[in-house]
Amino acid sequence: MAAAAIKLLTLSAVATAVLSANRAVTAAGAVPVAGGRCAGFTDFPAAIGERVSYGALGTVVAEAGAAFAVDAALELDATGRVITKASGVAVARALGAASAAGQLVEILVIPN
């Protein structure tokens, strides 16, 4: 089944770094630090200075940074992809499983 999204809140920011689609972003338009907080997940790629929309509440499609199970608590890796929570901030809950890095999975965003 393809990943889907039910966004309840979409916001936007001006990119202050090169941003990839379906990865975490801060409200300032930057890539968050590993294990850090994020404002949401980008809808499309953006170059520096471009405005990008991101899903801030609800379910979104995110890129996996490693394999994880359904219902896993998720944190961020250094590139804004989601991975199983270890010691970082929980930013989402997995609504689907990922068997490898690079897969697109539906997640439930946790305001953080």
Model confidence pLDDT, tens digit, residues 4-22? 889 999 999 999 999 999 9
What is the model's pLDDT at position 28?
98
- The answer to whether the Cα torsion of 34, 47, 100, 93 is positive or negative is positive
Q: pLDDT digits over 19-70, tens only?
A: 999 999 999 999 999 999 999 999 999 999 999 999 999 999 999 999 999 9
Confidence (pLDDT) at 34: 98
Helix (H, G, I), strand (E, B), or coil: what is residue 74? strand
Question: Which pLDDT score is estimated for 100?
Answer: 98
Q: Please give the tally of structural domains in the chain.
A: 1
Q: Which two tokens stand for residue 13?
A: 């920011």
Whole domain around residue 33: which residue ranges?
A: 1-112
Q: Is the pLDDT of residue 1 over 70?
A: no
Nearest to 53 by CA among 109, 12, 18: 12
Residue 77 has pLDDT above 60, yes or no: yes
Supply the mean pLDDT for the chain: 96
- Given pLDDT bands bounded at 50, 70 and 90, which one contains residue 2? low
Residues 76, 15, 63, 106, CA torsion sign: positive
